[in-house]
Chains A and B, each alone.
Chain A
Amino acid sequence: MSTPLSHLVRTPLRRLLEAEGAHWAELRDAAVADRVGQSGDAPALGIADLSPLPRLGFKGRGTIDAMKKRGVVVEAEPNRAFRQPDGGLVLCLAPGEVILLGPLDGDGSRLDAMLGDWKLEDEERTYPLLRRDSHAWFAVVGYKAPEMFSKICAVDLRRDKFPDLAIAQTSVAKMSAIIVRADSVRLPVYHVLADSAAALYFCSCLTDAAQEFGGRLVGLHVVKSAYADANGP
């Protein structure tokens, strides 16, 4: 069985997930908690650590054009997300900044290639950012998610006010965070990106807020199941 220690890339929540009884699944260069705990049932509210999955950022005034040139589906519409053909998601944070979330199957080849091919000399005025390292990635799955967020975030995330693919760059539990709603076929899903160095603290806030709704940590498979046949958000 794959474990995080067999890889150089490790989630900041490794020890917490191990303590919660995580079963790890192998990705290309890391292990991701696929199941957490003994119960196979998805709770009313699930919080999954997707930090080991690939993601990459680009910033700079030429970013949107540079992304389009690379076949990324994106428009210069700040605070809107765009679904990608490979199941990934692209978050437009500003006219000159995007974050690309890889698909849930962990295939990072596309993002690796984008990073590998990028050169300063190309003068595209777009600059890569290691978002897999700077930001932990959580998925919050379930209808109670907006109510849970209302305990730690001042933005109105109710489903009729915060539509699918909307983004909030805001403060969550006194930390900067990016929240994007990308519903699955079956359930509302909110993806949250927050400072990787504070991932443990952030996770404790999420699980604490989720407790009254029967929420708990879950594995990647719960998120994948929510997205049913699709490969991602």
Chain B
Amino acid sequence: MTAARLSGPDYGLFIDRTKPLTFTFNGRLFNAFAGDVVASALHAEGQAMLSRSFKYHRPRGVLTMAGHDANCIVQVADEPNVRADRYPVTQGLAVQPVNYLGTLDHDLYAVLGYLSRFLPVGFYYKTFFRPAGSWKFFEKPIRQLAGLGHLEPKAQHRYYDKAYLFADVLVIGGGPAGLEAAIAAAEGGADTLLVDEWPELGGSMLFARGERGRTETNARRAALVAKARSTPGLKIMTGTTVSGLFSDNWAAAISGNRLYKIRSKHTILATGAFDQPLVAPDNDRPGIMFADAAQRLMRLYGVKPGSRAVVVTSNRFGYEAALDLLDAGVEVAAIADLNPTPTGAAVEAARTRGVRIFSGTTLAGSRGKKRLESAGLARIVDKGKTASAFDWISCDMMLMSVGYQPALNLACHAGAKAVYDETIAMHRAADLPAGVSVTGSANGLWTEAAVVDDARRTGALAAAAALNGGAVDRPQSMADPEAAKISHPYPIFPGSGKKDFVDLDEDLQTKDIVNTVKDGYDDIQLVKRYSTAGFGPSQGRQANLATIRIVAHETGHSLAAIGTTTYRPPLVPEKFAHMAGRAFEPTRLSAMHHRHIELEAPMMVAGLWLRPAYYGKPTGSRQAIEAEVRAVRENAGMIDVSTLGGLDIRGPDAARFIDRMYTWAYEKQPVGRARYTLMTDQTGVIIDDGIAARLHDRHYYVTATTSAVDQVYRAMTWFNAQWKMDVDVANVTAAYAGVNLAGPKSREIIMKLASDIDFSKEAFPYMAVKTGRIAGIPVRILRVGFVGELGYEIHCPSSMGEALWDVIMEAGKPLGLKPFGVEAQRILRLEKGHIIIGQDTDGLTHPGEAGMEWALGKKKDFYVGKRAIDMQMAKGVARKLVGFEIAGKDTAVPKECHLVIRNGDIAGRVTSVARSPTLGKTVGLAYLPPDLAETGKQFQIRADGGAMVDATVVPAPFYDPDNKRQEL
């Protein structure tokens, strides 16, 4: 394996040669070193082909070595869409190529390349749907062809989380500009955070030769990194990629399995630039890569990228890469320079070392099967045109460096515009939002002096802005005359009969973009959508600029006029797991929760709470629920009602406030008495009910339903703020635990407990309220009867809730006391005809429809919703909630929300229904039209399977209509 590895300290910065590893690719064993990425290790062992292209299944290999392209997509175990040029090798890693049929070397789908004439741009908008019904024949093979990799439904769950980070100044990008800016910001007193996606700081200094040679570049990097690491106030995060920049300097950054949410006062983008490809015939074979990629292979991973190279370039970076290759012992067969008269120090250095330089020349073709074997060079005769005569040069690699595109994605996420600058043949950021700066090559600066000067100034000003509340002027962009020599204005040379790729992700050629324009889609946004240019995993990093250039060329407009497509986050692939993070699902448990668990109660969700459904094993649920109902009717039962909302309303205006919030009358409610409460919103819709217990002339303890208490509390504080009443509203739900002890023997049970409260019928009648202690526990007791029996709702401080449960259960054991759950309570309350808000009402129900007219204070001048209710009552109701029963033991029992059908039309719906163990029949509540709602009328309910069930309207309550039992 050492044959393709370079030795010496200048090579293999990221790898540890003392730690060899093995892994498999496509089932074959490969060697690697710790620190290698999959692509570097494969390339080192001669595996140049990494994947097959998306549409034509052409062989593809390393392109960027930076995770910026789709060529390197592989599958690792259950994880698809892994970028092989960024994914570290670990011992035993199993890597699979994707998107082929047969073998990677002999992909049967490659036949599609010969059918390309039948797959013109936009073909999927025009085919597969005619004749009608044909899609079902196309769907299966298309689905099989589509996508890269395999999504494993049984993929292993992994731990992902999120964390916040804060900084005065956030610097994104740890290259020369980012380092300089971060140091300057920290020296300016700002708490500075520098984030870089690579494991080591340095950016292009990690791999590039640099203006002054590799030795100088190394020294410069070492000095800058050392200074950064020793600068107080500068925190550095490597291996972290910022994937989105949002309003108010909110940056999302991914590091391993964690998503960081970074908040800064000022953000500096030193994000560098993306290589742009040379568009030419057969420009996609394995071995054809960016010059930067070859330099990364050598410097970062110690991999010799090939043995004989051709370099096609239009700037100094191509020459510098050629010099690096020569230093590494790679033969450079030729340099083709797109410029007619190449000049500069690097050009002279290459000439001095005897490299053949072809001026005004470009790639015009390539040959090779699994890897490049030769490159065809031709003279450029006009914009986008080459001479027909080729020089074929044998080589196994071709390096491209014909231009860059500043990485302005994050700037654009934050609201900036990318505007084309003809003078440098690249885009620049315009209209940057406040608090965001761009520096370095992302800001159009390419020479060391210009970058250092601009970055330092940007850092210092950002610090000042962050520390002074943004009151410092934005730094002006520096001019860099050398920037005009970086990007060729039109490195696009289509060739007839060969595929020249503009977008390697989507296998789009020049003619595809040209035909898109010819089809009438000449707006760049439409070009993207019609052609799919930029749709692939690389998100147009290498395709957008070439596409814009072709569209400009075809339409005759300037590139500035064409504009760009929209840069959207995320900049790099984010997993759903990153976005989801660690699940936070608050769960509220009553103080008695563990007692329910000990009694084997299945717990059911009620808002954030868990409540016992019933007690016992699920196999015997019906019997358990019926036994609980019987216990309440015959002896006594106890249910945990801690989840009920509780509100303390205190102050001189407490009664007046309650009177305005609820529909009934409360100002004259005596102290020590409880009264039903019904709350409506301003449109008269019922939103909650409960009990108002007057504990003092100026103190009401109000209960609310479990799920609505927060809404009720919000409404109360909102109205109190408007009414400016002398009253305090406190949500005390969590402060109080509670139980409802109900049944004919409940008084006997409660009287067994030591208490300072007189529980006699005379002293503590129905709807009375008392405070005191039972068994040493301070309590508020309401004699209410939701389940229709003698009962006590006992509330105590929640820290004593478990103790309260224990003492009552102990006292009740000899008298047959049983705990009962929500399911039994639903039946019990239904037998008693009590409604549940939210189940027997909906988002439009007003009191007249629900039969709650009795709970309206008709003599009151005001309560929330009164005006709307008065109007509705005057207008009359369109439906009524009524009780019904279903005769016969064997009749099907409908379910809640089953429909009432009359003459084939929907006439109403069931809201509650149950087989009553007490009454021995099925009873329920349903909304019916007024003419059907009279007692004795019959109607039909459509039950499961379409069975029609006959039901009869009967008066509610179904059980104890004279209320004798609850008033015992």
Contacts and interface: CB of A to CB of B under 8 A. Distances in A.
A52 B800 CA distance: 11
A197 B609 contact: yes
B83 interface: no
B99 to A, nearest CB: 38
Given A120-B696, A175-B586, A208-B582, A125 B651 contact: yes
B588 interface: yes
Contact of A132 (B166, B732, B799): B799
A17 B594 CA distance: 14
B735 A198 contact: no
B81 to A, nearest CB: 27
Contact of B798 (A125, A150, A160, A197): A197
A36 to B, nearest CB: 19
B165 to A, nearest CB: 7
B736 interface: yes
A120 B694 CA distance: 13
Contact of B588 (A152, A198, A208): A198
Interface string B708-751: 00000000000000000010101011111000000000000000
B470 to A, nearest CB: 18
Contacts of A200: 587, 589
Contacts of B248: none
B797 interface: yes
A154 interface: yes
B261 interface: yes
A202 B609 CA distance: 14
A8 interface: yes
A114 interface: no
A187 interface: no
Contacts of B734: 133-135, 195-197
B803 A150 contact: no
A11 B585 CA distance: 21
A157 B692 CA distance: 42
Interface string A116-158: 0000100101010111111100000000000000111110101
Q: How large is the interface on A (under 10, 10 to 19, 20 to 34, 35 or more residues)?
A: 35 or more
A184 B730 CA distance: 33
A154 B589 contact: no
A12 B589 contact: yes
A70 interface: no
A15 B735 contact: no
Contacts of B58: none
Contacts of B591: 10, 12
A127 B648 CA distance: 9
A134 B803 contact: no
A76 interface: no
Given A129-B732, A156-B263, A161 B166 contact: yes
B587 A130 contact: no
A7 B582 CA distance: 37
Nearest to A52: B799
B652 A15 contact: no
**A8, A60, A125, A196, most chain B CB atoms within 10 A:** A8
A8 B166 contact: no
A230 interface: no
A129 B646 CA distance: 12
Contacts of A11: 799
A134 B589 contact: no
A173 B648 CA distance: 27
Contacts of B165: 150
B777 to A, nearest CB: 6
A30 B799 CA distance: 10
A8 B798 contact: no
A69 interface: no
Given A8-B777, A134-B735, A198-B587, A15 B594 contact: yes
Interface string A186-222: 0000000001111011100100100000000000000
A172 B699 CA distance: 32
B161 interface: yes
Nearest to B591: A12
A150 B699 CA distance: 41
A200 B263 CA distance: 30
A60 B651 CA distance: 9
Contacts of B776: 8
Contacts of A174: 584-586
Contact of A59 (B161, B263, B730, B735): B730
B736 A8 contact: no
A156 B261 CA distance: 12
B150 interface: no
Nearest to A156: B166
A151 B164 CA distance: 6
B586 A127 contact: no
B799 A196 contact: yes
Interface in B773-820: 776-777, 797-800, 802-803
A128 to B, nearest CB: 9
B590 interface: yes
Contact of A133 (B162, B263, B584, B799): B799
Given A59-B728, A133-B736, A208-B582, A197 B163 contact: no
A19 to B, nearest CB: 12
Interface string B655-685: 0000000000000000000000000000000
A201 B586 contact: yes
A198 B163 contact: no
A9 interface: yes
Contacts of A153: 164
Interface string A27-47: 000100000000000000000
B608 interface: yes
Nearest to A197: B588
Contacts of B803: 7-10
A219 to B, nearest CB: 19
Contact of A127 (B584, B608, B730, B797): B730
A109 B355 CA distance: 92
Contact of B586 (A151, A173, A208): A173
Contact of A197 (B590, B648, B650, B696): B590
Given A60-B651, A198-B589, A120 B699 contact: yes
A197 B800 contact: no
A8 B803 CA distance: 5
B728 A60 contact: yes
Nearest to B167: A156
B549 interface: no
B698 interface: yes
B730 A132 contact: no
Interface in A18-73: 30, 51-52, 59-60
**B642, B696, B730, most chain A CB atoms within 10 A:** B730
**A10, A52, A134, A208, most chain B CB atoms within 10 A:** A134
B777 A154 contact: no
Contacts of B642: 197
Contacts of B652: 123
B797 A201 contact: no
B589 A130 contact: no
Given A9-B800, A133-B798, A173 B589 contact: no
A10 to B, nearest CB: 6
Given A151-B161, A156-B263, A129 B777 contact: no
A196 to B, nearest CB: 5
Interface in B146-164: 161-164
Contacts of B608: 198
18 contacts: A8-B776, A8-B800, A8-B803, A12-B799, A52-B799, A60-B651, A127-B730, A130-B735, A132-B797, A133-B798, A150-B166, A151-B163, A173-B586, A174-B584, A196-B799, A197-B590, A198-B588, A201-B586
Given A10-B803, A120-B696, A156-B166, 16 more contacts: A9-B803, A10-B800, A12-B589, A12-B799, A120-B698, A123-B652, A134-B734, A150-B163, A154-B261, A156-B164, A173-B586, A174-B584, A195-B586, A197-B642, A200-B589, A201-B588
Query: What 6 A-B pairs come out closest when comparing CB atoms?
Result: A134-B735, A197-B588, A174-B584, A133-B797, A156-B166, A133-B735
